[in-house]
Amino acid sequence: MDQHPLILCLCQPEDHWKLIPGYVQAFRRVGYEFVFVGGPVPLDQSIEEILAMCPRRPEAVFHFESALPLLPEGLPRCDLPTFCFHADTYAYTDHRLRWSYLFDHAAVFHPGYEAAFREGGHPGAFLLPHAVRREFYDLPDSERIYEIGWVGQTGGPLYQNRSRLLSVLFQNFRANDWKKHFTLEEVASVYRRSQIVVNVGRDDFPHDANLRVFEVLASGALLITSLPTELTQLGFEEGVHFVGYSREEEVLSTVRHFLQNEPERLKITGAARTKTLQEHTYDARVSQLLLRLRSTSDRRQAPARSWSDARARLIALDFFAAHGVTDCAIHQYWALLKSDPSQAFTGSRLLAWALGKKFANSLHAPRR
């Protein structure tokens, strides 16, 4: 019996529960299986030891941005194609670019960053936006009992504009219970029963084409979002697939207009839903990844493959320091000190920053 081709994933699905399960299910639909790394493994375990745990040789190695800061030792030595996935590309972009040098392919989720990564020295950077799970959205229509739907964070310093605008909307329109925690399937159910969703991005990146906008576009609810928006760089048109606003003062009247004009609203939502379910599902993303994997099967594009071991270790030190994994950062520093003192000097600053941050956090930790 033929064995299914295998993908090695350097974390568990729950380490990024919004993202990884969608990819796993879509890959399985085309005959691929995943093997996951997790549990009590050293966060700098060698790639050779990790591969030895696999039931058979994988076709590729995937490193998702996740809650598990695992970065295997010796990645540039790996003879398999390696992929990293940067969902929040706009945050700590310089660090993400440096970490991506260890991988053959760097998937960025926001338009424009693929060009920035290539200009920054990574020939394998490519755009891979957020996507939706078709099985949650390609369903018969539901009664739209909510005038406004919403799922997402509303607290914290990055969401002050969101909190202010949504509080006004919740006071004026019938909405779902937005304070509870939702699974992704429940999110889909909320939006499929909503007439309108107003997307308010982060204060530091308001034009974000985040996961929410794709979920809303796929659900048949009308998306109202701030302008400018990354959606226009992804082929969506304002007034055709979504409605934009430039000032918060416009939002209430815009919502009222589209609640009162159902034919106009349905024309936009129908076009948006069709486009999203055709072009922006995990099935579409997997097709893109497999095409890339097959078309570059004989190329290893990670810049670090041609570097010295010390230079690659400095990138690993940067990764572990940024993620607060100080024991792994210290391990990389001592290896650098032995092999290349000049790189160790740079590494000492990264390590000092990480240790200082850890000490500061310990001062604020609750005492028993």
> What would the pLDDT profile of 119-173 be if each residue is shown by its tens digit?
999 999 999 999 999 999 999 999 999 999 999 999 899 999 999 999 999 999 9
Q: Domain boundaries in the chain?
A: 1-131+281-299, 134-280, 309-358
Using an 8 Å Cβ cutoff, are 151 and 212 in contact?
yes
Task: Give the whole-number percent of the chain exceeding pLDDT 70.
Answer: 97
Please state the separation of Cα 315 from the chain's center in Å: 21
| Tokens matching residue 286 | 């997997």
345 band by pLDDT with thresholds 50, 70 and 90:
confident
Q: 1 versus 356: which is more confidently predicted?
A: 356
Class of residue 94 by CB neighbours under 10 A (exposed 0-12, middle 13-18, buried 19+): exposed
Task: Write the DSSP assignment of 272-340 as a string of letters.
Answer: HHHHHHHHSBHHHHHHHHHHHHHHTTT----GGGGS-HHHHHHHHHHHHHHTT-HHHHHHHHHHHHHH-
Task: Give the whole-number percent of the chain exceeding pLDDT 90.
Answer: 87
Please state the pTM of the whole predicted model. 0.94
Residue 237: predicted pLDDT? 98
**pLDDT above 80 (res 365):** no
Q: How high does pLDDT run on average in the chain? A: 94
Residue 353: predicted pLDDT? 85
What's the half-sphere exposure (Cβ side, CA atoms, 13 Å) at 336?
A: 26
Residue 341: predicted pLDDT? 87
pLDDT tens digits for range 18-57: 999 999 999 999 999 999 997 789 999 999 999 999 999 9
Spatial neighbors of 349 by CB under 8 A, at least 6 apart, are none
Measured in degrees and rounded to the nearest 5, phi and psi for residue 238 equal: -65, 130
- Please state the rounded mean pLDDT for residues 338-347: 87
Task: Count other Cβ atoms within 10 Å, centred on residue 36.
Answer: 18
Q: How far apart, in Å, are the Cα atoms of 110 and each of 36, 81, 88, 199, 303?
A: 26, 22, 8, 17, 22
Instruction: Work out the end-to-end distance of the chain between its first and last CA atoms, rounded to an integer number of angstroms.
Output: 58
1-131+281-299 CATH choice from 3.40.50.2000, 3.40.50.11540, 2.40.30.30, 3.30.420.40: 3.40.50.2000
364 band by pLDDT with thresholds 50, 70 and 90:
low
368 band by pLDDT with thresholds 50, 70 and 90:
very low
**pLDDT above 80 (res 359):** no
Residue 178: predicted pLDDT? 87
d(CA 309, CA 49): 18
> Would you state the CATH architecture of domain 134-280?
3-Layer(aba) Sandwich (3.40)
- What are residue 198's DSSP bridge partners? 224
Spatial neighbors of 273 by CB under 8 A, at least 6 apart, are 137, 217, 218, 219, 220
- What are residue 146's DSSP bridge partners? 194
Residue 221: predicted pLDDT? 98
pLDDT tens digits for range 252-297: 999 999 999 999 999 999 999 999 999 999 999 999 999 999 998 7
**pLDDT above 70 (res 363):** no
**pLDDT above 90 (res 238):** yes
**pLDDT above 60 (res 1):** no
